[in-house]
Every structure is written in C-alpha cells, then in structure tokens.
Amino acid sequence: MTFVQLIDCKTSKYDEMNRLMDTWVEVTRGRRTATHAVVGRDRATDGHYVEIVEFPSYEDAMRNSGLPETSRIFEEMVALCDETPTFTDLDVVRDEQLNKDAVRSFLLDTCGRDEPAAYRALFAEDYLDHDMAKGTETRGVDAFREETLGYRDAFPDFAFTVEDQIAEGDRVATRWTWHGTNTGPLRGIPASGRTVDMSGTTTFAFRDRLIAEGWWHWDTLGMMRQLGVVSMPS
C-alpha cells in the first residue's frame, strides 16, 4: 500500500529550507526511498508550508528515516523553522488519478463506438489528434470519432489492453496492446480475414478536465505485415 508523510512547518527562511532539501536529495542519491514529493505554501498564512512525501510503503519510509543523512538534515531543518515541525503518517486508502482513468475509459470502453455524447464527455470540442502513421492531423472531436469508427468497421472486434500508464502534470502517457480481426476494408485495403496484434503508445494532454490533444505512435509496419500487405525481406 502506498504511504505518504505530511510535514507541516512554519518558517520565515524558506529559501534556506529549499536549499537544505536540495542538499538532502543530493547526499542521499541512490539510497532514498521517496518516490514523489510536493511542497505547498499556505495562501492564508504567511510562512506556513506543507510537504507531502510519497513512499511505496511504510517500511520504505522508515528505511528513509533511518538514513544518517536524514537525521542530520532534520536537525538543520528544525533550526530553520519558527516552531517544531509536525509529521503525520498516512496509509493511502483511496487514490484516484482522474486523468489516467479518463484515458482508460476511452481506450477500453469508448474508442470506435458511435456514441457522440461519450466522446464529448472525454474530449474537448477542438481536440487535435496527431497520428504519426498518417503524418496528418485530425481536428475536432467529431472528426476524430469518425476516424475511430473507420477502424471499428475494419476490425469490429478490436480491443485495447492498457499495459502501463504514466501521468505528469496535464499529460498521460499510455503503453497499450491491441487485437482485432480484419473483416472490413481499411483505407482502400480489402478485408483479409486475418487477426492483428500490435502495440503502441499514446500521450494525451488535458485542458479543463478534457482531453485536448493526442499523439499516437504505433506499429504500422507490423499491422501491414500481419494483413499481408507487405512482407519482410528474407
């Protein structure tokens, strides 16, 4: 279970505190167990800061606390605070990553279905799509939906499997695999009746909780080879 630690402190020397934290990161490089750290400044109270540090588990956090450098840095941090900082240990019991969930919903449930409302619930009206296989852009959520319907016509049973997802800021990158049976024409290529398995990655950018732009990189050559359109040299 993911574990987070909240460090609450008040200081008029934040710049010095920030440099101290940079020092701690450097001296514990390769041994620290924290995976993510966020520092927030209280808008309502001057000099009030809260740091949220994420660890894979409580045990990892304790190993981090046991580093000799951590004890030394903590003593220096206390000296920079106006009062003794407080620590709150929290086991994470609910972790919703909404942008990642939206991407999963599109890939697993919505993609290739003729449901305009479902697309509009996920994508901005002016959505811009970049498909590296085509080398052209698709503008507008309705045009993008029509494009995915073309793949559904060619592969009525196609399905994505989400293998990995990474989210940072307004971006979500997804590594996926895809399977489908080609029973309809695809961009002038007649139906082959063959099955296709391929992989790719998609990065989506969000704006106001909606997907505003996307970049697709996928194994076009592998698809064409499996369809019998191209052959690999012997």
Condensed to tens digits (0 to 9), the pLDDT of residues 187-211 reads: 888 999 999 999 999 999 999 999 9
d(C-alpha 150, C-alpha 192), whole Å: 16
Q: Which of 2-6, 26-30, 139-143, 218-222 has the highest mean pLDDT?
A: 139-143
Q: How far is CA 96 from CA 101, 167, 170, in A?
A: 8, 12, 15
Q: Which of 91, 122, 149 is the last residue of a domain?
A: 91
CA distance 92 to 17: 27
Do 48 and 109 lie in a common domain? no
Please report, rounded to a whole number, the percentage of residues in the chain having pLDDT higher than 90: 74
Q: Are residues 52 and 112 in the same domain?
A: no
Question: Is 143 within a domain?
Answer: yes
**Which residues contact residue 213 at a Cβ distance below 8 angstroms, ignoring those fewer than 6 apart?**
127, 128, 129, 130, 204, 205
Same domain, 181 and 203: yes
Domain that residue 124 falls in: 98-227
The CA-based dihedral angle spanning residues 117, 121, 125, 127, taken in that order and rounded to the nearest 10 degrees? -120
Say if residue 99's pLDDT is above 70: yes
Q: What is the largest CA-CA distance in the chain?
A: 74
Instruction: Tell me if 234 is assigned to some domain.
Output: no
Beta bridge partners of 204: 172, 214
Query: Nearest Cα to 39, choosing from 23, 58, 22, 59?
Result: 22
Based on the fold, state whether residues 19 and 115 are members of the same structural domain: no
Give a yes or no: residue 11 inside a domain.
Answer: yes
Q: Which of 68, 91, 114 is the last residue of a domain?
A: 91
pTM to 2 decimals?
0.78
Task: For CA atoms 16, 19, 23, 24, give the dihedral sign.
Answer: positive
| Higher pLDDT among residues 125 and 67, named by residue | 125
Res 1 pLDDT > 70: no
Whether 233 is in a domain gets the answer no
Contacts of residue 19, defined as CB under 8 A and 6 or more positions apart, other chains included, come to: none
* pLDDT digit string, tens, across residues 5-19: 999 999 999 999 999
**39 within domain boundaries:** yes
> What pLDDT score does 27 carry?
87
What pLDDT shows up at residue 210?
97
211 and 108, same domain (yes or no): yes
What pLDDT is stored for residue 232 in this prediction? 67
Query: Do 38 and 154 belong together in one domain?
Result: no
The reply to whether 232 falls in a domain is: no
Residue 190 shares a structural domain with residue 220 = yes
pLDDT at res. 234: 61
Select from 91, 98, 63, 76 the least CA-distant residue to 23.
76
Residue range 126-154: average pLDDT? 94
Q: Do the domain assignments include residue 67?
A: yes
Do 107 and 176 touch, CB atoms closer than 8 A?
yes
- pLDDT at position 120 is 97
Into how many domains does the chain fold? Answer: 2
- What is the CATH classification number for the domain harbouring 210? 3.10.450.50
| Whether 67 and 147 share a structural domain | no
Mean residue pLDDT of the chain comes to 93
Q: How confident is the model at residue 24 (pLDDT cuts 50, 70, 90)?
A: confident
- Calculate what percentage of the chain has a pLDDT beyond 70: 98
Phi and psi torsions of 215, nearest 5°: -130, 120
217 in the same domain as 103: yes
Cβ-based burial of 99 (10 A; exposed 0-12, middle 13-18, buried ≥19): buried
Structure tokens given for 110: 């919505």
Same domain as 207, residue 102: yes
Q: What is the CATH number of the domain that holds 52?
A: 3.30.70.100
Task: Please say whether the beta carbons of 111 and 162 come within 8 A.
Answer: no
Same domain as 219, residue 178: yes
The confidence band for 69, taking pLDDT boundaries of 50, 70 and 90, is: confident
Amino acid at 122: L
Q: Are residues 78 and 135 in the same domain?
A: no
